[in-house]
Structures are given as C-alpha cells and as structure tokens.
C-alpha cells in the first residue's frame, strides 16, 4: 500500500476520530467549492469574434502616419501608437493591396512639412489614408516634442502637398475641429476627415492604470475582442478615445468602404458610438467625434 501523506492520515484512516473525520471532510468540500467559484470568477471574459469580411482585391491603399508621443514622463501619448496600429491593421483586413509608407514618431515641424510633401498622389494609390496625432490647442497649433510649436494648417500650406481626390485623414488630437475653417484643408487636402474632438474639446486615452469610468473589456466587448485578435500580443492596453470608437466600429463592419460615401458612413458610425458613450458615461472622458467632408 502506498504511503499516505501525514496531513491526510487522520481524515481517512483513524476510526477513533469519526467526528473529526466528518468535520475534515466537510471542510475540505467547502474549500473545493469556494476554490471552484474563485477560479470561475477569475476566468477571462469570452472574446467576441469580429465579423468576417472579404478584402477588396482591386483597391490600392497607401497609409502614412505622423504622431508626437513622447513629450515627457507625464504626457506620453502611448494610446496614439495603439490607435495608429489599429488603423493600419484595419486597412490590411479591408484591402489586399496596402502600402505602409511613412510612420513618423516624434518629429519636428520641418519633419511634418516633409511628411506632407511626400504623401502619395492619385497615380500611386486609389485611396490615401493619413493618421495624424499630437498635442494641439484651440487654434490647431501643434506642440512638438522638442518644445517648438507650429500651426498645423500653416505647415500643410507651406508643404504644398500633392492633391489626392480620395484622401482620408484621421486627426486624433484635442480641438481637432479647429481645421474646419481652413479652406486648403477642406478643398485641396482631405476628401473625408475623421475629427477626434470638437473645437473646444480635449480628447483622452484609456489605460489600465487610469481612473477611467469604464471597463473596456466589460462595456466594449466587440472592441476588446477585436484588439485581442488583431493587435500585437504585447500591446499595453492603452488606446485613444477615437481608437476605441474606431475598433468598436471596425468590429461591426462587414463591407469595407470603397468610395467616399462608404468612408463617410464608417466615420459617422464612429461618431454615433462616441455620442452613445457620452450619453452613458458623461462628457468628461468622451469627446464629439465628427466627420468633415471636403468641398469639391
């Protein structure tokens, strides 16, 4: 007969202590039940699988991004890196021909001008998607990581960017709607612009350590499931507010947009999700995401 551990001998092999035997068995069963409840409560929420889509095979897409991230210890915009990756991943799911071109991080005003001047023209791609993120004030003045400032629309005008009739711009910055009144932007630069915030609004990022009013995994299971499947496994769980609304919309999109109307429809849905967020959780963490359509 195999040896029995000393700690269990009194439970199973001592007929003189039946009372204690029953007590020990009962206690052991209670522990097992509590342990099973604990483990079931700690199990992760089931991932909501995004919709299956069929990529557009004939559409050529170019993706360029410019974001300022590492300002200092207290003002790092790590969520904007995740949002850029989410946009890039979405494009690769939607279209078979995606060219990732410029991926600028922490540039200067001169770098931004060069970035604009190197954006593709219509002969290089059918759709040009541009992601821009930075600290920005109510007059669309960007703060660069080297301490300098420059107005976004002034830099664009000086850069003399090549026009593209189908350019989609994602402006992920506070006071994003400040570009609404710039004729060069609306007439020559962007066919559709997704604006992360109103003229007088700031926009925020979500991260696990922040005192945010929501649990992203609980309240946005589609976006969370999308991120768990398509973002890199080591992502830091940071995301800009626009990025969260983008993932929520992308997870529910069956048909990739193939024209300006389709892109406007997608951007409007991002805005609808943002509006619902504000109604549920308040305006402190949710900005007004808007769609700006270019002037023909």
In tens, the pLDDT along 167-196 reads 999 999 999 999 998 999 999 999 999 999
Please say if the pLDDT value at position 19 is more than 70. Answer: no
Tracing tokens 């007088």 back to the chain, one arrives at 200
2-11, 56-65, 240-249: lowest mean pLDDT where? Answer: 2-11
The most confident of 22-26, 40-44, 47-51, 86-90, by mean pLDDT:
86-90
> What does the mean pLDDT of the chain come to?
84
pLDDT band at 284 (very low <50, low <70, confident <90, very high): confident
Which two tokens mark 80? 């904007």
Cβ pair 199, 174 in contact under 8 A: no
The CATH architecture that domain 59-293 belongs to is 3-Layer(aba) Sandwich (3.40)
Beta bridge partners of 61: 98, 127
Please say if the pLDDT value at position 82 is more than 70. Answer: yes
pLDDT band at 211 (very low <50, low <70, confident <90, very high): low
Give the DSSP letter of residue 136: E
Tracing tokens 């097992």 back to the chain, one arrives at 32
Please say if the pLDDT value at position 11 is more than 60. Answer: no
Give the DSSP letter of residue 252: T
Beta bridge partners of 60: 97
pLDDT band at 274 (very low <50, low <70, confident <90, very high): very high
H-only helix segments in the chain: 6-12, 18-42, 78-94, 109-117, 152-159, 183-184, 216-219, 221-230, 241-250, 260-281
> Which of these, 258, 239, 245, lies nearest to 291 by C-alpha position?
245
Please say if the pLDDT value at position 50 is more than 70. Answer: no
* pLDDT of amino acid 256: 92
Please say if the pLDDT value at position 27 is more than 70. Answer: no
Q: Between residues 36 and 137, which one has the greater pLDDT? A: 137
Residues 6+ apart with CB under 8 A from 56: 94, 95, 96, 256, 258
* pLDDT of amino acid 276: 96
Please say if the pLDDT value at position 43 is more than 80. Answer: no
* pLDDT of amino acid 233: 86
* pLDDT of amino acid 213: 67
Rounded distance between C-alpha atoms, residue 5 and residue 16, angstroms: 19
Please say if the pLDDT value at position 34 is more than 50. Answer: no
* pLDDT of amino acid 46: 65
Q: Residues 4-21: what's their mean pLDDT?
A: 30
The backbone torsions φ and ψ at residue 11, rounded to the nearest 5 degrees and listed phi first, read -75, -40
Residues of the chain above pLDDT 90, percent: 64
Please say if the pLDDT value at position 294 is more than 80. Answer: yes
Condensed to tens digits (0 to 9), the pLDDT of residues 226-247 reads 999 999 888 888 899 999 999 9
Q: Residue 291: exposed, middle, or buried by beta-carbon count in 10 A (0-12, 13-18, 19+)? A: middle
Q: Between residues 42 and 3, which one has the greater pLDDT? A: 42
* pLDDT of amino acid 22: 41
* pLDDT of amino acid 212: 64
Neighbours of 190 (CB within 10 A): 24
Beta bridge partners of 95: 56
């Amino acid at each position: 007969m195999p040896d029995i551990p000393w700690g269990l001998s009194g439970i199973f092999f001592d007929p003189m202590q039946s009372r204690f035997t029953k007590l020990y068995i009962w206690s052991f069963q209670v522990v097992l039940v509590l342990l099973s409840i604990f483990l079931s409560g700690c199990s992760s929420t089931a991932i909501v699988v995004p919709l299956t889509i069929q990529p557009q095979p004939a559409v050529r897409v170019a993706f360029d991004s410019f974001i300022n991230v590492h300002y200092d210890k207290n003002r790092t915009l790590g969520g904007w890196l995740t949002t850029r990756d989410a946009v890039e991943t979405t494009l690769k799911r939607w279209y078979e021909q995606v060219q990732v071109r410029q991926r600028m991080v922490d540039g200067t005003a001169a770098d931004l001008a060069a970035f604009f001047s190197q954006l593709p023209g219509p002969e290089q791609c059918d759709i040009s998607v541009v992601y821009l993120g930075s600290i920005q004030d109510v007059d669309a003045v960007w703060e660069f990581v080297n301490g300098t400032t420059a107005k976004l629309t002034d830099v664009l005008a000086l850069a003399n960017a090549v026009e593209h009739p189908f350019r989609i711009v994602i402006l992920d910055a506070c006071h994003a709607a400040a570009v609404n009144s710039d004729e060069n932007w609306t007439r020559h630069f962007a066919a559709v612009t997704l604006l992360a915030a109103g003229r007088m609004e700031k926009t925020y990022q979500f991260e696990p350590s922040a005192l945010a009013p929501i649990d992203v995994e609980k309240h946005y299971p589609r976006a969370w499931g999308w991120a768990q499947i398509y973002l890199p496994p080591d992502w830091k769980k940071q995301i800009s507010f626009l990025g969260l609304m983008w993932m929520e919309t992308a997870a529910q999109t069956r048909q990739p947009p193939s024209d300006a109307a389709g892109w406007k429809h997608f951007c409007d849905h991002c805005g609808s999700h943002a509006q619902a967020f504000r109604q549920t959780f308040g305006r402190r963490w949710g900005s007004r995401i808007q769609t700006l359509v270019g002037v023909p």
